[in-house]
Every structure is written in C-alpha cells, then in structure tokens.
C-alpha cells in the first residue's frame, strides 16, 4: 500500500513540474500574429471605355440613349451606390475588327482614354461575319461553310491584332467582349447554316480571347437570337411555322421584305427600324447579361486599402 501511494505522489509531482514548464514555455514563446487581410473598398469613380461596332454605338435604340453603354452606366451606379461612372463610347456602325483597329491606331484620344480605363467593353466580329454571309448565303451549305472557314482565318488575325493593341494601351483593365447573335433567327430558325456559322464565329472569338489576361466572354447569342421565344416548345412551333415560308432556304426576296418592314418584328428585342439591331429593350437585355459578368469579375470596381 505504501509503495502504491509513493508512485501516485511521484506522478503528481511530475505533473505539477511539467505544467509549470509548459506555462513558462507559453509565456516565453513569441505570440504568432494573424496576418491582416487586405481591405477592398468601392471606387469613388470608374472610367468605362466602350469599343466596337454598331452594337456599341447603340444603333436601333429608339430612345436614343446610347444603347447598352448608357444602360450599364446606370446599372453600375445603382448597384454600387458609392461609385460614379464616366463613359467613353468608341462604337462605329459597320466597323469590322480591322476597322476598329485602324481607328484605335489613328486616334490619340481613343488611345489615351483606353490607358485611363478601369474597365473596357467591346462588341466585335458581327460585321466580319455578316459581310461574308451576305455574299455567300444563297450558296449551298457546304460552300457557305468553306467560305466562313476561310473568312475565320482572316478574322483571327485581325482580332489578335486588335486585342494586342488594346492590351498595349492598358495591360490591366478587365475587358468584356460580347458575342454576336443571329438577328434574323425568328424568320429563318430552320436554316442551320446561319445558326451554325454564328456559333463557330463566337467560338473563334472566345478562343482568341483565351490568349489574353483578364478578358471575359459575354454570350448573348441565344438571348438576342431567340428573343421572347425562350422555351424549346416555343422555338419548335416557330420552326414549324417558318418551314412553310422558307422551305429550309434563305431567299433574297424574303430578306429584303424583312429589312423593309418598319412596323413589326418577330423578335421583340430587335428594332423595327432595320429588323437587325437591338431596340432599347434588346439593349437592356444585353446590359443585364454584361452586368452579371462584370459582377462576377469585379476587380474593376474595388481598390485595395
């Protein structure tokens, strides 16, 4: 019994000593401080520079408010209450990618504003493709595919030159590039050669963008092409209706009649002014999709403090 108590006493003494050593170690050891995380705050002002073709210019906006550029400015200011947005619009109707590049190279003011930009938006590629389709759309699908593939090689070269020039002026600002869409889908939903060409063109743009830092593709193809026909059933009914009129082909007569119809458009997002460009409602749809992407990639809005 005495031996057992002696063992218990030794264990207690060792425990007390060990506790004291541990306490002294804690007191003498340096305290590891948690590294403070950087604090990000909303910018007081954001400079947005828009570059591109007629979709950036705002053609078709019956309210004459500057298309998506004006809308995105107000959306940013409404969502980020502490931020004021200034915009510069360098959109010119009809411009191909090489023509946008030519303006950038010849306009010092445009280059200066690009250098100051916090965020850059762009619409490009529609005229590059449409000018090719207009010349070849009456040919066989195989011929159209071949011509589009050939035009795509030229477009890749021009788009690379344009994006390189933009990045030369501003290496850091995020660039949001919107896709092209099919403005006559609701009249020719059964003509696959147009839809397929647009999909290929958008894939080409997206692939080229992948070679550059902080460039984000905003896909508005289905949004703008389908318009109010949002469900598969609605689009199938549309296809059945248009098959009777088209016989699966594009006719020059029907194209001309569509462009001349200033009173109605089967797509509620497309302007009746030319049945080609977005109306104000269409530009609102574009701005909504753009703003979603801008919120997902919002380095343009915050500054580190």
pLDDT tens profile 61-112:
998 888 999 999 999 999 999 999 999 999 999 999 999 999 999 999 999 9
The answer to whether 300 and 118 are in contact (CB under 8 A) is yes
User: In 137-191, where does DSSP find H-type helix?
Assistant: 141-169
Cα distances from 244 to residues 62, 190, 237, 247, in angstroms, run: 32, 10, 12, 6
Sequence-separated (6 or more) residues with CB below 8 Å from residue 291: 72, 75, 76, 79
Q: Which of 40-49, 63-72, 219-228, 260-269 has the lowest mean pLDDT?
A: 260-269
Place of tokens 């030519």: 102
Instruction: Name which of 120, 65, 61, 60 is nearest 90 in CA terms.
Output: 120
SS3 annotation, 1-32: CHHHHHHHHHHHHHHHHHHHHHHHHHHHCCCC
Give 243's pLDDT tier (boundaries 50, 70, 90): confident
Confidence of residue 24 (pLDDT cuts 50, 70, 90): very low
CA atoms within 13 A on the CB side of 197: 30
Residue closest to 251 by CA, chosen among 305, 184, 206, 296 = 184
pTM: 0.84
How are beta strands 119-123 and 84-91 bridged, if at all?
unpaired
DSSP class of residue 273 equals T
CB atoms inside a 10 Å sphere around CB 223:
18
The size of the chain, in residues, is 305
For 247-254, the CB contacts below 8 A with 24+ separation are: 248/190, 248/191, 249/191, 250/137, 250/138, 250/188, 250/191, 250/194, 252/138, 254/187
Lowest mean pLDDT among 28-37, 127-136, 236-245, 285-294: 28-37
List 85's β-bridge partners, or say none.
Answer: 46
Q: How far is CA 121 from the centre of its chain?
A: 8
- Could you list the beta-strand ranges (E) of the chain: 40-42, 45-52, 84-91, 119-123, 175-178, 215-218, 302-304
Is residue 22 scored above 60 in pLDDT?
A: no
Distance of CA 157 to the CA centre of its chain: 21
pLDDT digits over 148-195, tens only? 999 999 999 999 999 999 999 999 999 999 999 999 999 889 888 889
Using an 8 Å Cβ cutoff, are 176 and 123 in contact? no
Q: How high is the pLDDT of residue 37?
A: 63
With contact defined as beta carbons under 8 Å apart, do 44 and 302 qualify?
no
Report whether 99 contacts 74 (CB < 8 A): no
* Dihedral Cα 237, 241, 242, 244, nearest 10 deg: 140
């Amino acid at each position: 019994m005495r031996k057992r108590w002696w063992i218990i006493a030794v264990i207690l003494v060792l425990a007390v000593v060990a506790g004291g050593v541990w306490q002294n170690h804690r007191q003498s050891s340096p305290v590891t401080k948690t590294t403070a995380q950087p604090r990000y705050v909303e910018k007081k002002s954001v400079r947005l520079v828009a570059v591109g073709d007629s979709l950036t210019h705002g053609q078709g906006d019956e309210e004459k408010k500057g298309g998506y550029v004006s809308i995105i400015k107000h959306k940013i200011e409404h969502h980020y209450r502490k931020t004021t947005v200034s915009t510069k619009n360098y959109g010119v109707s009809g411009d191909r990618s090489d023509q946008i590049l030519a303006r950038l190279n010849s306009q010092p003011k445009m280059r200066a504003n690009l250098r100051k930009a916090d965020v850059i938006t762009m619409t490009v590629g529609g005229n590059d493709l449409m000018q090719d389709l207009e010349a070849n759309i009456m040919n066989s699908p195989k011929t159209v595919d071949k011509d589009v593939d050939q035009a795509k090689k030229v477009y890749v070269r021009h788009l690379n030159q344009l994006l390189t020039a933009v990045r030369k002026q501003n290496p850091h600002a995020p660039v949001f590039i919107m896709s092209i869409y099919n403005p006559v889908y609701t009249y020719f939903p059964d003509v696959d050669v147009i839809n397929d060409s647009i999909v290929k063109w958008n894939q080409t743009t997206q692939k080229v963008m992948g070679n550059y830092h902080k460039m984000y593709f905003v896909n508005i193809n289905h949004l703008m092409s389908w318009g109010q026909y949002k469900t598969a059933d609605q689009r199938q009914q549309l296809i059945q209706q248009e098959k009777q009129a088209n016989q699966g082909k594009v006719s020059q007569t029907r194209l001309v009649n569509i462009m001349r119809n200033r009173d109605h458009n089967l797509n509620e997002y497309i302007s009746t002014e030319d049945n080609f460009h977005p109306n104000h409602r269409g530009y609102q749809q574009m701005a909504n999709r753009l703003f979603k992407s801008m919120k997902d990639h919002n380095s343009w809005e915050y500054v580190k403090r």
